[in-house]
A and B are shown apart, each in its own frame.
Chain A
Amino acid sequence: QSALTQPPSASGSPGQSVTISCTGTSSDVGGYNYVSWYQQHPGKAPKLMIYEVSKRPSGVPDRFSGSKSGNTASLTVSGLQAEDEADYYCSSYAGSNNLVFGTGTKVTVL
């Protein structure tokens, strides 16, 4: 199972929006509505930000939104804030009780 493809980096100024893509195949991202997004700050465990493509767990700001089209999922962070600077990872169910993560994207707030 190959890792999902994410851009290595993305950036934006405070208040702007940034969108991160996560590209897989019809066997993972495109085949199931089970895409999740994680935020990870240095030295910390990942934190779930989006699950099932577009759902937000309690406590996650509505500045974070998710979507999917075909084999590509996206995470949009609107109204960027300094604390949004982190690594972001997508994940997807990949069939046969398997799960796969993306390659990760480092978001920089300029």
Chain B
Amino acid sequence: QVQLVQSGAEVKKPGASVKVSCKASGYTFTGYYMHWVRQAPGQGLEWMGRINPNSGGTNYAQKFQGRVTMTRDTSISTAYMELSRLRSDDTAVYYCARALAKIDDYWGQGTLVTVSS
């Protein structure tokens, strides 16, 4: 069965970087785009961008351009999202999602990133 297992919760200081992983299993990792979506406490969903695991090509939301980097390691079927220059308003649950908004849509369990001094 399809599984997307994300890394554990993180606490970071303002200005630091965080790298969240998303390990895929149960399907061909390179066959579907992987998206990243975040949700601040009590707030709505926010699309951050996506990566093509086959080519490594990325598309980022304009808001995160220059601060986000999405990568993948096909040898271990894992996608990564790194966000730099963290601010307090980056505190959120970060989700990876396969084939977002398509019939094969599937989400990870989420990773809480807390930014606090």
Contacts and interface: CB of A to CB of B under 8 A. Distances in A.
Nearest to A93: B101
A98 B44 contact: no
Contact of B45 (A1, A89, A93, A98): A89
A110 interface: no
A86 B46 CA distance: 18
A100 interface: yes
A45 B95 contact: yes
Given A97-B50, A97-B59, A102 B107 contact: no
Contacts, number: 57
Interface in B54-69: 59, 61-63
B44 A103 contact: yes
A46 B108 CA distance: 10
Nearest to B95: A45
Bin the interface of chain B by size. 20 to 34
Interface residues of A, number: 25
Nearest to B110: A45
Given A48-B101, A57-B103, A99-B100, A89 B61 contact: no
Given A1-B61, A45-B109, A100 B101 contact: no
Most chain A beta-carbon contacts within 10 A, residue among B44, B100, B103, B110: B44
B61 to A, nearest CB: 6
25 contacts: A1-B61, A1-B62, A1-B63, A34-B101, A38-B45, A45-B109, A46-B37, A46-B95, A47-B107, A48-B105, A51-B102, A51-B103, A55-B103, A57-B103, A57-B105, A89-B45, A91-B100, A93-B101, A98-B59, A98-B62, A99-B47, A99-B50, A101-B46, A103-B44, A104-B44
Given A51-B103, A89-B44, A99-B50, 19 more contacts: A1-B61, A1-B62, A3-B44, A40-B45, A45-B95, A45-B110, A46-B37, A46-B95, A51-B101, A57-B103, A89-B45, A96-B59, A97-B50, A98-B59, A98-B62, A99-B47, A99-B100, A101-B46, A103-B44
